[in-house]
Amino acid sequence: MQEAIILVGGKGTRLRPLTNHTPKPLLEVAGSSFIRHQVAKLMDAGVEHVVFATSYLAALFEEEFRDFTQDLEISYAVEEVPLGTGGAIRNAGRLLRAGADAPVLVLNGDILSGVDLRAVLRRHEDREADVTLHLTRVPDPRAFGLVPTDEAGRVLSFLEKPKTPQECVTDQINAGCYVFRRSVLDAVPGDREVSVEQETFPRLVARGGRVFGHTTDDYWRDLGTPLAFVHGSADLVTGRATSPLVGPPAEALIHPTAEVHPTARVTGGSTVGARAVIGPRVVVDRSIIGAGVTLAEGALIHESVVDHDSAIGSGSVLREAVVGCHARVGAENELPAQLRLACGIDIPARGVRLSGTAAACPTIH
């Protein structure tokens, strides 16, 4: 029986305020919670038992899968206190049933990837590896774990989040998908917080363990930042990235109960949630519009997330913004890029502008 662990205990701080009430893997991308896309991919690869390593808002995972009826067994390894990525893998390992030499797939809970999981498993078996890491190349590796390998694919070192330019010895990074020999995973210390990236991998390599990389140039994205999150969702809709849960490539994914005015344009792989109302001449490009959101006439929403039950006033402009739930942005606001608006915030009409005329001064001088 092929088994897998998904690490889903992180707080998702870089995606706040979306993650205030919802763990990152339960946020919706392209019409389904992200973890459902991962589960579908694991099932396609023949996985029959998955363990969710949960901590932050753990109960919500059990709620999400309460009515799950497909042919996959789901177990929950809940950490009262976060155990770190290594501690989480070991803790989840207690619920596995495979033998000591069996290969166990481990996924970070925020990786959207086109890698062929069966190929990673095959590579692991061929090399008789202790651990096999899926590796990818990125233009700027500083936010990731650097993993140089030799010609045979053997991992030479593991350096998590390099601090200096000298430490950036490669653009090849840990893609957050591993195969562990079960006995190796069981040997992670269980009595304290352990980082698999900062402790387990460097130690295994230093001890001469059989740690191999499987490098591919498949589609790959870590959805942990707002811009990556909206791009990942849009890529699933437009077909640049694929998931068993997403239909044929489309310009947008609009919930059947949403109302989109005929003069509005929803493009670039945007999604529009249930009961949302998109007014005349609104432009929504490469964005995620949550359930019950209202976008008034002429609003422009670009590479942004507007969480459920928020309202954006007429003529307002959002770029690379994250708007928490139940927020109100009045008419003709022009928000600077990369703003995050707290849940429930209320910005009056013409309250924020980058150009043109601000509202008249309400006090008498």
Residue 145: CA atoms inside 13 Å, Cβ hemisphere, count?
24
17, 31, 103, 109: residue in contact with ligand GDD (rule CB under 6 A): 109
Q: Which amino acid is at 145?
A: G
Site string for ligand GDD, 35-74 (x = CB under 6 A): ------------------x-x-------------------
Which entry of ligand GDD, Mg ion, none binds 160, CB below 5 to 8 A by partner kind? ligand GDD
Residue given tokens 């694919």 in the structure block = 153
Size of site (CB under 6 A) for ligand GDD: 25
Question: In the window 182-211, what residues touch ligand GDD (CB under 6 A)?
Answer: 197
Question: In the window 2-31, what residues touch ligand GDD (CB under 6 A)?
Answer: 7-10
Which entry of ligand GDD, Mg ion, none binds 216, CB below 5 to 8 A by partner kind? none
Distance in Å, CB of 55 to ligand GDD, minimum: 5
- Closer Cβ to Mg ion, 71 or 140, answer by number: 140
What is the three-class DSSP state of 92?
helix
Q: Which amino acid is at 208?
A: G
- The pair of structure tokens assigned to 154 is 């053997």
Other CB atoms within 10 Å distance of the CB of residue 81:
7
28, 199, 222, 309: residue in contact with ligand GDD (rule CB under 6 A): 222
- Closer Cβ to ligand GDD, 84 or 351, answer by number: 84
Which entry of Mg ion, ligand GDD, none binds 159, CB below 5 to 8 A by partner kind? none
The one segment of 103-111, 126-134, 272-280, 350-358 that binds ligand GDD by CB under 6 A: 103-111
Active-site residue, from 11, 24, 41, 161 = 161
Which entry of ligand GDD, Mg ion, none binds 55, CB below 5 to 8 A by partner kind? ligand GDD
Instruction: With beta carbons less than 8 A apart as the criterion, state whether 331 and 313 touch.
Output: yes
Name which of 92, 112, 247 is nearest 180 in CA terms: 92
The length of the chain is 365
79, 285, 307, 334: residue in contact with ligand GDD (rule CB under 6 A): 79
Main-chain dihedrals φ then ψ at residue 346, nearest 5 degrees: -130, 110
Residues of the shown chain interacting with Mg ion in the complex, contacts defined by CB under 5 A = 110, 222, 224
11 carries an active-site annotation: no
- Taking the C-alpha atoms of residue 305 and residue 18, their distance in angstroms, rounded to an integer, is 9
Enter the DSSP assignment of 335. Answer: P
Cα torsion 205, 207, 208, 211: sign: negative
Distance in Å, CB of 10 to ligand GDD, minimum: 3
C-alpha separations of 308 from 239, 283, 322, 336 in Å: 25, 18, 12, 21
- Starting from the edge strand earliest in sequence, which strands make up the sheet with 283-285, in order? 265-267, 283-285, 300-302, 317-319
Which entry of ligand GDD, Mg ion, none binds 9, CB below 5 to 8 A by partner kind? ligand GDD
User: Looking at 114-208, which runs of residues are DSSP E strands?
Assistant: 131-137, 145-146, 159-160, 172-181
Chain residues in the site for ligand GDD (CB under 6 A): 7-10, 53, 55, 79, 82-85, 88, 108-111, 144-145, 160, 173-174, 176, 197, 222, 224
Q: What residues are labeled active site?
A: 161
